Amino acid sequence: MTDGWPRRRTAGYAAGVLILALVLTGCGEGPSEAPASERPVKLVTVSERDTLIERRFSGRTQAAERAWLAFRVGGVVESVAVERGERVDEGDLLARLDPRDFQRRVRELEGGLVEARAEQLMLERGAREEERRQLEARLEAAGAREEQAESEYRRVARMRDDGHVSQSEYDRARRALREAAADRRSAQEALTIAQAGGREEEREAARGRIRRIEAQLEQARDALEDSELRAPFTGYVAERDLEPHEPVQAHHPVVLFEDLESIEIEVGIPEGLLAWRDRLEAVEVRIPALDDARFSASIRSVGVDVLPGRQTYPVKVRLETPDPLTLPATALDPDRVLPGMTAEVAFRARPEPGVGVVLPPSALVEHAEGYAVWVRDPEDGRVAPRQVEVLGADGRGVRVQGDLEPGDEVVSAGAGRLREGQRTRRFNDESPASGRDTGAGGNRP
């Protein structure tokens, strides 16, 4: 190697035989010889994605909003308006109970409310003129009967004193006088009420009866309305567990309703990844059933306790848009991501300091001090070495740590034939060029 290599001892040997084999393979690659003044090379541009660490977990899709619907009242099913898999708008009818019993209860209470209000009106305003005249006549008749009963009582009392009547006759006369007096007092009270209205406690009792009947009537009307089961939101009928003419109990689940416009996936992550939330850059969901279509997603919730039987924490992610990031031409309609589909969720986070970036193995060049890569200047095409430390391999390549930043152009093929300061051009280009070489490969999963 030239004297331009940085003099820094690295930990690259910790990557083992696997990394060494990958690098040796990469050294053998490269284009055919070109003039020394400008050697063709393949390039890979360090991107933001290359600087991220990634973990993937499997789960199943589920509707973000789903509910088992039930009637709030019991009864006999009159009709069912939907089938399984049918789309229904918010407020549309799903099923109906026989409404006759509920309708009769409403009519009964409406009649009782009319009577209670009439009674209250009489107590508040008093009786009508003709009613008062009738009560006055009743009082006059009761008074006459009382006078007659009193006269008869006095006569019988004198005759008893003379020994001409028995004790039983005397008792009968006295009882008749008492009954006549009670009738007169009742007539007097009725007339007083008719003239001045009822007593305050009677009026308050009447108002209480009205409030009670009004509450019962409201409850009866709610029950009549609840005899119809309607969609709480726009969605799809996933399950239905009722048929016409069947009796159903109140609050018994009969229809599973789901909103398929919003899909979630729950996965379990180990405790070591909980710290990623503060450094999270992206969440991506891959659906194999849709020809590996990928969707952007966001974290909706993170559990605070491990899942039963597993030492992982539940994390829910929600698809942010029905439009996939990558959708093959043969994929199904992306709007029909259905509950129960297998999904792979990828979490990408900024690494902690010292975690490095991912490069293809062919970009590494081994030398006495460890490993290095060639970084090309996009202005003049000259290359310069950068010492790197090999941290290990992952599914996308080799993770290295060194003085590399997003945007750096790293030689990914032909690195073993370069020297410091040598001019290069992009492979298959007539002259040096900047930008990402899509043919470099190996830098994306």
26 or 82, greater pLDDT: 82
Tally of domains within the chain: 4
21 and 79 part of one domain: no
How high is the pLDDT of residue 240?
Answer: 92
| Pairing mode of beta strands 293-302, 357-359 | unpaired
291/391 same-domain check = no
* Over residues 180-198, mean pLDDT: 79
Indicate if 294 and 365 belong to the same structural domain. Answer: no
Asked whether the predicted pLDDT for residue 64 surpasses 60, the reply is: yes
pLDDT confidence bin for 245, thresholds 50/70/90: very high
> What's the CATH code of the domain at 83?
2.40.50.100
pLDDT for 16 beyond 50? no
- Same domain for 370 and 342? no
Residue 24's pLDDT band (cuts 50, 70, 90): very low
- Is the pLDDT score of 94 beyond 90? yes
Whether pLDDT at 34 is above 50 = no
Same domain, 218 and 134: yes
pLDDT at residue 434 tops 70: no
> Does 270 share its domain with 282?
yes
End residue of a domain, out of 316, 349, 382: 349
Do 46 and 115 lie in one domain? The reply is: no
Does the pLDDT of residue 100 top 50, yes or no? yes
pLDDT at 414: 78
**Mean pLDDT value of segment 37-44:** 83
Backbone angles phi, psi at 125, to 5 degrees: -105, -15
Instruction: Calculate the average pLDDT of the chain.
Output: 79
Owning domain of residue 401: 12-52+353-426
162 and 195 co-located in one domain: yes
Segment 417-429, tens digit of pLDDT: 888 888 888 876 5
d(CA 255, CA 155): 86
Q: Computed over its alpha carbons, how large is the radius of gyration of the chain?
A: 47
Residue 22 has pLDDT above 70, yes or no: no
Model confidence at 327, pLDDT cuts 50, 70, 90, reads: very low
What length does the chain have? Answer: 445
**pTM summary value:** 0.51
Read off the pLDDT of each residue in 98-123 and give the average, rounded to a whole number: 89
- Could you tell me if residue 5 is inside a domain? no
Residues 393, 399: Cα–Cα separation, whole Å: 6
pLDDT for residue 9: 36
At 273-300, the pLDDT tens digits run: 777 777 777 889 999 988 888 898 988 8
Does residue 251 fall inside a structural domain?
A: yes
**Contact yes or no for 390/11 (Cβ under 8 A):** yes
Selection from 188, 73, 193 nearest residue 123 by Cα = 193
Determine the residue type at 235. G
Q: Domain check: are 265 and 289 in the same one?
A: yes
Query: In sequence order, what are the residues at sequence separation of 6 or more whose Cβ sits closer than 8 angstroms to the Cβ of residue 290?
Result: 324, 327, 331, 332, 334, 337, 341
Tokens encoding 422:
């040598």
Residues 130 and 156 in one domain: yes
Does 108 lie in the same domain as 91?
no
**Residue-by-residue DSSP string for 60-112:** EEEEEEEEEEE-SS-EEEEEE---TT-EE-TT-EEEEE--HHHHHHHHHHHHH
